[in-house]
């Protein structure tokens, strides 16, 4: 019998194993797209903009703290987050050997640099993906996150899980499910390991905490992961390492049942699929004003190859935090000739989950000064005061166009069209879709947000450590 699905067009009765598949694409669903379980038809444009900016600011702050705290050696002790221990009556509490040497502890008893992996805000995401898990298959609607590695889903039994629309995944009903023992290579790829020695073989436990206080705890397992592709084929991959979470609480939202890590770390989906997808993936994000028309695309293997005369490619920066896709921001040009003066060269994370683009405050100020001189429209403050620079278009000429903004990212020259750099907030006002990265951290980190990435085919080659950018009409991809 077909599994129940949140997306009717993804209903599957059975899956065919396509072991030789080297190229496929799946739908990448924006949370405000009508097919998304988060879609709210009563939301106005103003409602959506406020929500996306709040999510973006929260995620950017978390990315900065994580990036630099690990770059400088260890997690910061000033994150001001709260985490709960496993409930005393939890069936998994026996996995905790003692409060003194267990990583599953609360901040009051844990040292500042407790070995628990910390990730970004639990609900600060913009894109979803559907996967099919287990045998027989179960559809899972999960967050697609380039800022995380581990693939995890909520599982039965769950002693402390957030409320969800869909039933939890039950590993006992899947013939392809197998727990991963402690001491194995996959278990050792976790940032820390905690063993449950009461079973034979022992179970490998993880705890991931998020900067907003959310956390997920579970055991590592192997399971079959499958996708319904955009060309109508079904492709599955056996023995993928996933986290089966038996505790998941905090700000996770009921419409999702887990997270698909698309980062560069060893436990991410991309790293695990490895040579079968040629160590590469890509995405093509449709502009926000087209999200009612079509979905974006997430591609793997040969489908993710980017070619053509207009492809710009740069090398990723080697840093301790291997999860993030990091390049350097070397210069900024407005229009064809107006280049900002010397700017502080900075790291720049290419991130699909952050909405706005973030720049060093001095760089952003210089950019805004140059834009004001170039655009020559009256400035106006947006009613919600969330954007740094806005323009009144009431008396603009019919053929008025905002200038392109070109970023030099290492060896890649990436030209942002007006829809990549500006956000129209009503019929008469358009604002710069950028913000300062110095509100919390004094460190110089930039983030290329997903507005800036729209209508680019962006490819990530993990083997060659390269990122490629090619202009594209993502509505036709």
Overall size of the chain counted in residues:
477
Q: Give the C-alpha separation, 440 to 131, whole Å.
A: 36
Q: Are 361 and 342 in contact (CB under 8 A)?
A: no
Q: Are 245 and 443 in contact (CB under 8 A)?
A: no
Task: Provide the H-helix boundaries in 197-347.
Answer: 269-273
Neighbours of 40 (CB within 10 A): 12
Residue 303 annotated in active site: no
Of these residues, 145, 196, 212, 360, which one is catalytic?
145
Of these residues, 351, 360, 382, 461, which one is catalytic?
351
How far are the Cα atoms of 21, 396, 412 from residue 465, in angstroms, in the given order? Answer: 23, 44, 14
Task: Provide the H-helix boundaries in 315-408.
Answer: 361-375
* Token digits of residue 114: 């407790």
**Dihedral class, residue 375 (left if φ above 0, else alpha if ψ from -120 to 50, else beta):** alpha
Residue 360 annotated in active site: no
Task: Provide the H-helix boundaries in 248-380.
Answer: 269-273, 361-375
Q: How many angstroms separate the first and last alpha carbons of the chain? A: 33
Task: Map residue 54 onto helix, strand or coil.
Answer: helix
DSSP assignment of 237-259 equals EEEEEEEEEEEEESS--TT--EE
Peptide bond into 61 cis (omega under 30): no
Catalytic residues: 145, 351
């Amino acid at each position: 019998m077909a599994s129940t699905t949140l997306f009717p067009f993804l209903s599957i009765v059975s899956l065919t194993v396509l072991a030789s598949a080297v190229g496929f694409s799946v739908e990448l669903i924006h949370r405000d797209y009508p097919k998304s379980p988060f879609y709210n038809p009563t939301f106005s444009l103003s409602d959506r903009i406020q929500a996306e900016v709040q999510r973006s600011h929260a995620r950017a702050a978390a990315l900065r703290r994580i990036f630099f705290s690990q770059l400088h050696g260890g997690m910061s002790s000033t994150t001001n987050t709260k985490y709960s221990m496993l409930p005393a009556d939890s069936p998994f509490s026996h996995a905790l050997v003692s409060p003194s040497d267990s990583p599953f502890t609360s901040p009051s008893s844990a040292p500042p640099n407790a070995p628990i992996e910390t990730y970004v805000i639990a609900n600060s995401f913009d894109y979803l993906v559907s996967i099919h898990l287990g045998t027989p298959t179960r559809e899972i609607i999960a967050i697609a996150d380039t800022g995380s590695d581990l693939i995890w889903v909520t599982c039965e039994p769950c002693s402390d899980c957030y409320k969800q629309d869909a039933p939890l995944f039950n590993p006992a009903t899947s013939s392809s499910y197998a727990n991963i023992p402690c001491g194995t290579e996959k278990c050792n790829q976790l940032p820390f390991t905690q063993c449950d020695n009461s079973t034979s073989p022992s179970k490998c436990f993880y705890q991931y905490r998020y900067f907003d206080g959310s956390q997920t705890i579970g055991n590592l397992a192997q399971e079959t992961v499958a996708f319904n592709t955009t060309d109508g084929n079904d492709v599955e991959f056996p023995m993928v390492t996933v986290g089966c979470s038996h505790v998941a609480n905090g700000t996770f939202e009921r419409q999702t049942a887990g997270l698909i890590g698309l980062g560069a770390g060893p436990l991410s989906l991309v790293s695990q699929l490895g040579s079968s997808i040629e160590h590469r993936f890509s995405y093509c994000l449709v502009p926000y004003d087209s999200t009612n028309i079509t979905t974006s695309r997430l591609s793997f293997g040969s489908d993710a190859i980017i070619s053509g005369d207009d492809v710009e490619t740069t090398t990723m920066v080697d840093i301790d935090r291997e999860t993030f896709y990091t390049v350097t921001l070397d210069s900024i040009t407005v229009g064809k000739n107006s280049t900002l003066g010397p700017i502080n060269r900075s790291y720049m994370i290419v991130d699909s989950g952050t909405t706005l683009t973030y720049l060093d405050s001095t760089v952003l100020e210089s950019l805004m000064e140059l834009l004001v001189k170039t655009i020559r429209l009256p400035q106006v403050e947006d009613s919600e005061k969330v954007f740094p620079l806005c323009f009144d278009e009431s008396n603009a000429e019919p053929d008025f166009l905002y200038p392109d903004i070109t970023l030099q990212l290492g060896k890649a020259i990436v030209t942002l069209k007006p829809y990549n750099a500006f956000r129209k907030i009503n019929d008469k006002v358009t604002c710069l879709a950028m913000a300062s990265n110095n509100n919390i951290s004094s460190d110089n980190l930039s983030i290329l947000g997903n507005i800036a990435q729209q209508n680019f085919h962006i490819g990530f080659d993990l083997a060659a450590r390269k990122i490629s950018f090619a202009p594209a009409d993502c509505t036709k991809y």
